[in-house]
């Protein structure tokens, strides 16, 4: 006996990846529905070795469906998630809409699985921001051992975080560099992304930080520990898939780099590749298609009393979005619904 599962936004980057991962991980599905907007109605999407046609999100009846994985953005989620939740279908939402609602759990299964039991207040569970998800997987086991005081993170975020339009813009601008008759002005990004980096993701806030940077601060506090101080600088880079982060961590207690390496090797969802030689680390291109969060360049920070530096890389379409949502679905099934 399996689950009746809905994927809303099934024709987008994350929605397609959700379908792929549900099939790859052999999630116990009895029936699956792929939903899309009217303009994408009838589009065929893959689910394992099957092909299914998308149905209309606007008219879909969520009654008797067990769970719905949403990848449709905040505006549409505001309309359809309450409908699904009211019909008894548990929503696992990938947008930012519900992440900061104190009555809705924000979950990374390797970090705070116990939070899943809070889903019943609104029948909704939030998926974190892609850059936060991979970072907290690395922070949690180290925090359990030596208590983190402060985190300074600089991100190197791929264009897929901005959806298909972002990937297309990088591709078209890169081609245009080599064609003197072509000009592809920025549309999705604020400046040209090809052969460039842009220290601006999401909107600017009053204190000078961007919304993406604020998200990393707020979400780390909600998922791991509200007492951790976090400061972030989020940067878009000309990479198609895979987010990278340079993370500096200050602890309450001393933590030796060798012990940190051992702790991370044993931690769920993490792969440590850390050789002090050319190529002995992971780059975003190498992590594409993988479920793991990769950690490299683990070393002491001698400028503070109890400090470590590390390099963190993950496929943002997987761990940062689709995989984490499917892992939440697995957790929900295992701990609460108990059908599969």
From the candidates 130, 234, 287, 312, give the one annotated as an active-site residue: 130
Determine what percent of the chain is predicted with pLDDT higher than 90.
95
H or E segment and range at residue 100: none
236 belongs to an annotated ligand binding site: yes
**Overall average pLDDT of the 61-74 stretch:** 97
Residue 180: per-residue pLDDT: 83
112 belongs to an annotated ligand binding site: no
Least reliable range by pLDDT among 28-42, 146-160, 260-274: 28-42
- Please report which confidence band the pLDDT of residue 38 belongs to, taking 50, 70 and 90 as the band edges: confident
118 belongs to an annotated ligand binding site: no
Helix-then-strand count for the chain, H and E: 8, 14
Q: Is 125's pLDDT higher than 70?
A: yes
- Please report which confidence band the pLDDT of residue 339 belongs to, taking 50, 70 and 90 as the band edges: confident
**Overall average pLDDT of the 271-281 stretch:** 98
Query: Catalytic residue at 89?
Result: no
Residues contacting 277, CB < 8 A, separation 6+: none
239 belongs to an annotated ligand binding site: no
- What Rg do the C-alpha atoms of the chain give, in angstroms? 20
Residue 340: per-residue pLDDT: 59
H or E segment and range at residue 55: strand 55-56
- Please report which confidence band the pLDDT of residue 39 belongs to, taking 50, 70 and 90 as the band edges: confident
- Please report which confidence band the pLDDT of residue 119 belongs to, taking 50, 70 and 90 as the band edges: very high
- Please report which confidence band the pLDDT of residue 16 belongs to, taking 50, 70 and 90 as the band edges: very high
**Are 243 and 131 contacting, i.e. CB atoms less than 8 angstroms apart?**
yes
Query: Catalytic residue at 243?
Result: yes
Determine what percent of the chain is predicted with pLDDT higher than 70.
100
In tens, the pLDDT along 288-304 reads: 999 999 999 999 999 99
In tens, the pLDDT along 211-250 reads: 999 999 999 999 999 999 999 999 999 999 999 999 999 9
157 belongs to an annotated ligand binding site: yes
Query: Quick count: other Cβ atoms within 10 Å of Cβ 70?
Result: 30
**Overall average pLDDT of the 54-70 stretch:** 97
Distance CA 186, CA 100 (A): 31
Distance CA 321, CA 275 (A): 29
Name which of 253, 258, 257 is nearest 306 in CA terms. Answer: 253
**Overall average pLDDT of the 43-71 stretch:** 96
Distance CA 266, CA 289 (A): 22
181 belongs to an annotated ligand binding site: no
180 belongs to an annotated ligand binding site: yes
4 belongs to an annotated ligand binding site: no
From the candidates 89, 143, 234, 243, give the one annotated as an active-site residue: 243
13 belongs to an annotated ligand binding site: yes
Domains of the chain: 3-127+321-336 (3.40.50.720), 131-158+197-314 (3.30.360.10)
CA-angle at 236, arms to 234 and 237, nearest 5°? 130
Mean pLDDT, all residues of the chain: 96
Residue 184: per-residue pLDDT: 95
- Please report which confidence band the pLDDT of residue 87 belongs to, taking 50, 70 and 90 as the band edges: very high
């Amino acid at each position: 006996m399996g689950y009746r599962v809905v994927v809303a936004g099934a024709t987008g980057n994350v929605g397609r990846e959700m379908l792929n991962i549900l099939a790859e991980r052999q999630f116990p599905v009895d029936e699956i529905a792929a939903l899309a907007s009217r303009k994408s109605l009838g589009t065929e999407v893959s689910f394992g070795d099957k092909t299914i046609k998308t149905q209309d999100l606007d008219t879909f009846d969520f009654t008797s469906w067990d769970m719905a994985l949403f990848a449709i953005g905040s505006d549409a989620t505001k309309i359809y998630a309450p409908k699904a939740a009211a019909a008894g279908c548990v929503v696992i939402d990938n947008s930012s809409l519900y992440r900061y609602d104190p009555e809705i759990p924000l979950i990374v299964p390797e970090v705070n699985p116990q939070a899943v039991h809070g889903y019943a207040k609104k029948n909704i569970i939030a998926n974190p921001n892609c850059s936060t998800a991979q970072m907290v997987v690395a922070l949690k086991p180290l925090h359990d051992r030596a208590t983190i005081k402060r985190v300074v993170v600089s991100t190197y975020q791929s264009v897929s975080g901005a959806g298909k339009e972002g990937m297309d813009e990088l591709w078209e601008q890169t081609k245009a560099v080599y064609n003197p008759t072509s000009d592809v002005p920025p549309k999705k990004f604020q400046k040209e992304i090809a052969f460039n980096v842009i220290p601006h993701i999401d909107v600017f806030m009053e204190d000078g930080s961007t919304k993406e940077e604020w998200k990393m601060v707020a979400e780390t506090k909600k998922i791991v520990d509200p007492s951790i101080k976090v400061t972030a600088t989020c940067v878009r880079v000309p990479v198609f898939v895979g987010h990278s982060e340079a993370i500096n961590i200050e602890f309450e207690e001393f933590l030796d780099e060798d012990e940190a390496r051992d702790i991370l090797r044993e931690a769920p969802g993490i792969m440590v590749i850390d050789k002090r030689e050319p190529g002995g680390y992971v780059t975003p291109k190498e992590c594409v298609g993988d479920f793991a969060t990769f950690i490299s360049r683990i070393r002491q920070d001698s400028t503070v009393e109890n400090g470590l530096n590390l390099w963190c890389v993950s496929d943002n379409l997987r761990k940062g979005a689709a995989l984490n949502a499917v892992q939440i679905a697995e957790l929900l099934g295992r701990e609460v619904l108990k059908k599969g």
